[in-house]
Amino acid sequence: MQGLVFLLGLVALLPAQGNAAQISISRPANGTVYHPGDTVTVQVNNPAGDTLWFGGQPHLDENDVVTKEGPYVHTFKIPTDIPAAGDQTVSVVDLSTPDKFAARVTIHIEPQVSADATLSSQRTSLHFKFPGLTQTVPLEASQDGPSGIDVSASNQLQASVANPQVASVNGVSVTALSRGSTTVTFSLGGASITFPVIVDKGSGVRGDLTGNGIVDLDDLAVIQSALNTKVVAPNDPRDLNGDGKIDALDARILVTLCTRSGCK
């Protein structure tokens, strides 16, 4: 019988939620915010005599703890070198039941960013071929050296666009709204970083979504990657039938617009 294990990276292998009445996590509460170095206390309400398995997502805790009787409490510290901010899942499985009943809570990890921190990204600019496209900007906060923590999912991250008619921003996702240029700025604590944003007019050829003046399989791939989504800007060139969504009908229309035999 396996004991009490905080072994990260195995959450995807856990069974369905099961009978919530048989096992529950009384703390931490869902959505509790922690920082690197904080201590997390996990307490389980469970019938006496059961054997429990504790698990979480990668980089949270890797200590093995064995217990088969109450009180079912385990504590661990958020690593100071945790690589990313954002939500982490803590799960408990009752190994004494045939169905392996499970309970889960989500905690949120936020970095402690000092005034001398810097923000960096693999991107240096955002270039869109046409309005309606969205790009993400991975962000990392560094304080004492070149390596840092991924803050793309931080709740404290703020963003603004100099010209909101050209682009919009939601979290670290930037969407082109109309032709033109602007800048988007992200800030966290005392750190900030700004990216130039350019949205092209396009070639003017209906169905040409890559801007090379022809309509082929590359343009079809653009539509297929956005299937069953709503347009994010007026006159979205992917919405070829103008019904406000990008779907199989638009893909069929694009095939009829191909400028090469067999749409190659």
1-44 tens-digit pLDDT: 233 333 333 333 344 444 434 778 889 999 999 998 899 988 88
217-263 matches 4-109 in CATH topology: no
CA atoms 113, 118, 124, 127: torsion sign: positive
The pTM score is: 0.73
Q: Which of 66-70, 199-203, 247-251 has the highest mean pLDDT?
A: 247-251
> Looking at per-residue confidence, does 138 or 235 come out higher?
138
Beta carbons within 10 angstroms of residue 107's beta carbon: 22
Rounded percentage of the chain residues whose pLDDT exceeds 90: 40
CA dihedral 172, 245, 200, 212 (to 10 degrees): 120
Residue 55 pLDDT exceeds 70: no
Q: Which of 43-47, 58-62, 183-187 has the highest mean pLDDT?
A: 183-187
Second CATH level (architecture) for the domain 4-109:
Sandwich (2.60)
Residue 19, pLDDT score: 40
- What are the domain boundaries of the chain? 4-109, 118-199, 217-263
Fold of 118-199: Immunoglobulin-like (2.60.40)
Percent of the chain topping pLDDT 70: 80
pLDDT at 143: 72
SS3 per residue for 39-103: EEEEEEECCCCCCEEEEECCCCCCCEECCCCCCEEEEEECCCCCCECEEEEEEEEECCCCCCCEE
Q: pLDDT tens digit string along 81-99? A: 888 899 998 888 777 766 6
The dihedrals phi and psi of 222, each to the nearest 5 degrees, come to -65, -45
Mean pLDDT of the chain: 81
Answer whether CATH 1.10.1330 is correct for domain 217-263. Answer: yes
Can you give the three-state secondary structure of 168-223, one letter per residue?
A: EEECCEEEECCCEEEEEEEEECCEEEEEEEEECCCCCCCCCCCCCCCCCHHHHHHH
Residue 147 has pLDDT above 90, yes or no: no
